[in-house]
Chains A and B, each alone.
Chain A
Amino acid sequence: MSGFAAFARKELAEIVRTWRIWVVPGVLVFAALSAPILTALLPTLVERFGETPGISIDVGQVTALDAYTEYLGNLTELAALAVLIAYGGLISGELRGGPGVLVLTKPLSRPAYVLAKLAAQASLLIVATAAATALCVGVTAALFEVGPVGDVLTAVALWLAYALWLLCLVLALSSFLSAPAAASAAGVGVYVLLAVLSQFSFARPTWVRLPTLAGDALAGGAVEAAWPLLTALLTAVALVAVAVVRFGRREI
């Protein structure tokens, strides 16, 4: 795969030296910090602003598990959407008025172009998720107690597998659609559709259940994740293959 290493190095440097370092990692850090802090403040907030004459709200004793549940909720909704929106132009963005034309007329194969972008952004997502989770655990430990860290790690790992699948989805969409906004919108559409499908029993052994399984794992239940992970892997490979083939045949 000609040019993969050089182009992947460029992609990583671009993440570090441009706005890209702030978008998805920024959302993840926000999710990690806001979850334990808002959970800790919840009883006070309810006491101050939630009182309605005749109605009494008792939020009870908030715990580390509540903070982690909030964090996972942030990941599933906020961070997953951030992935779909931020990466809508993963392939097409550099071609529309960008330097893609210059690099693709050098000995950089088109598969290498696609895979280097995927590798760099997947690395960013993994590192940022790990850092955000460590931050969340640290802040939670400071405000409550350490809590069920093992369950948190399992839950976040399952969410991360789903987020990486979404990255492959938006990569494939970006290889078809020239407009980044169109690819992002299509990605959000698929995301909503999968969320609906995950409610049906036939979807149980598939990757669409990964966010639900993450919640189950955090609640301390036993999760059977082998089939969902396997189907996630297989469909992700298929999406990447589609992106590579489609981009290889595309005029620029």
Chain B
Amino acid sequence: MPERPIELEGVVKTFGGVRALDGVTLSVPPGSIYGFLGPNGSGKTTTIRCLTGLARPTSGRVSVFGRRPFPAPPELLARIGYLPDVPRFYEWMSGAEFLRFAGTLFGLERRVLDERVDALLELSGLRGVSARIGGYSRGMKQRLGVAQALVNAPDLLLLDEPTSALDPLGRKEILDMIAGMRGRATVFFSTHILADVERTCDTVAILDRGTVVAEAPIDELRRRAGRHRVVVGVDDPARLATAVRDREWSTAVETEGALVRIAVNDLAAAQRELPAVIAGLGLALHRLDADEISLEEVFVDLVGGRS
């Protein structure tokens, strides 16, 4: 069995009396694109700081490629690419100079470094930009941040909110780049943008108040929460809600005006039985729709709408 790029077991991190991480346990499969979702202040950045050796957990076990990252041995860091939430650079350097400097810290040969710097400048849209980094926009710095995280062709890419400062086009490019790494490297990226996770990731963990409240492949997470949803319009929604709440195929029921929203784990069964239930109650049916539950709804359900 290949070694797990990341494993956390009961990780606690406290700052003074505040528990930023409260028993975080997760395991990242090799080669996966792993979304680390959570509201602001839920502990995402602290977790990543523990993975990169910038912070030491108060208790619990942190393992990156089977090794403890604090203090981080250089051989371990050589396999990691990291983009912090707000990347900061030597503002007197140009983007190309910074990439070259980063590459020399990894001990890259001159020829490899030249090729890689060229390719990364192209990827980040910074080719031909001779200005110093001090004159870059926030988006340009973010793209340079992604480029420097890739300079060593890492086995594990840790990205903390990689798309937060980007415009829609830049965001698409970065997400496409992340998607392109599937199978070549493990990507662990934190975000509060659900659409990015839905579009790119195969596995997701949801962090809330320092605790992982769900960790699963995205499809399984949706299935657990009730993969589909049926929206029914009737003249007495409260009676229908009561009647379907205990059905096997129903995982969650809520009413909104004249509508009943039912999360279901077996759409066919729900579609078969619902008309009979409605007829049995003597209700008038105005509407019956079915659609997929979004990750956003799963997220809001799990973190209680705190984000």
Contact = CB atoms under 8 A, between A and B. Distances in A.
Interface of A: 2-3, 6-7, 9-10, 14, 17-18, 97-99, 101-110, 248-249, 251-252
Given A6-B105, A99-B90, A107-B105, 13 more contacts: A3-B74, A3-B105, A10-B90, A14-B92, A18-B92, A99-B88, A102-B145, A102-B148, A103-B102, A103-B105, A105-B52, A105-B54, A107-B106
Size range of the interface on B? 20 to 34
Contacts of A99: 87-90
B265 to A, nearest CB: 42
Contacts of B78: 107
Nearest to B76: A107
Contacts, number: 65
Given A101-B84, A102-B148, A248-B71, A107 B89 contact: no
B105 A249 contact: no
A7 B88 contact: no
Contacts of A97: 88
The 5 closest A-B pairs by CB, nearest first: A107-B74, A2-B74, A6-B104, A106-B105, A105-B82
Interface string B99-128: 001101111000000000000000000000
A248 B148 CA distance: 24
A107 B77 contact: yes
Contacts of B80: 105
Which secondary structure dominates where chain B touches chain A?
Answer: loop
Contact of B88 (A3, A102, A248): A102
B72 interface: yes
A25 B88 CA distance: 27
30 contacts: A3-B105, A6-B101, A6-B104, A10-B90, A10-B101, A18-B92, A97-B88, A98-B88, A99-B90, A101-B54, A101-B88, A102-B89, A102-B102, A102-B145, A102-B148, A105-B52, A105-B72, A105-B80, A105-B82, A106-B77, A106-B105, A106-B106, A106-B152, A107-B74, A107-B75, A107-B77, A107-B105, A107-B107, A251-B56, A252-B55
Contacts of B55: 251-252
B230 to A, nearest CB: 48
A108 B105 contact: yes
Contacts of B77: 105-107
B31 interface: no
A145 B88 CA distance: 52
Contact of B74 (A17, A108, A249, A251): A108
B53 interface: yes
Contacts of A17: 92
Contacts of B52: 105
A124 B53 CA distance: 31
Q: Which of A9, A99, A106, A251 has the most CB of B within 10 A?
A: A106
Given A3-B74, A98-B88, A110-B71, A104 B54 contact: yes
Contacts of B74: 2-3, 107-109
A160 B303 CA distance: 61
Nearest to B82: A105
A94 to B, nearest CB: 9
Contacts of B53: 104-105
A6 B75 CA distance: 16
A99 B152 CA distance: 18
A135 B92 CA distance: 30
A249 B82 CA distance: 20
A112 to B, nearest CB: 9
A148 B52 CA distance: 57
A251 B26 CA distance: 23
A29 to B, nearest CB: 22
A99 B107 CA distance: 19
A103 B106 CA distance: 10
A14 B55 CA distance: 27
Interface string B58-101: 00000000000001101101101010100111101000000001
Nearest to A3: B105
Contacts of B101: 6, 10
A104 B54 CA distance: 8
A23 to B, nearest CB: 15
B106 A251 contact: no
A102 B107 CA distance: 16
Contacts of B105: 3, 6-7, 103, 106-108
B72 to A, nearest CB: 7
Contacts of B102: 102-103, 106
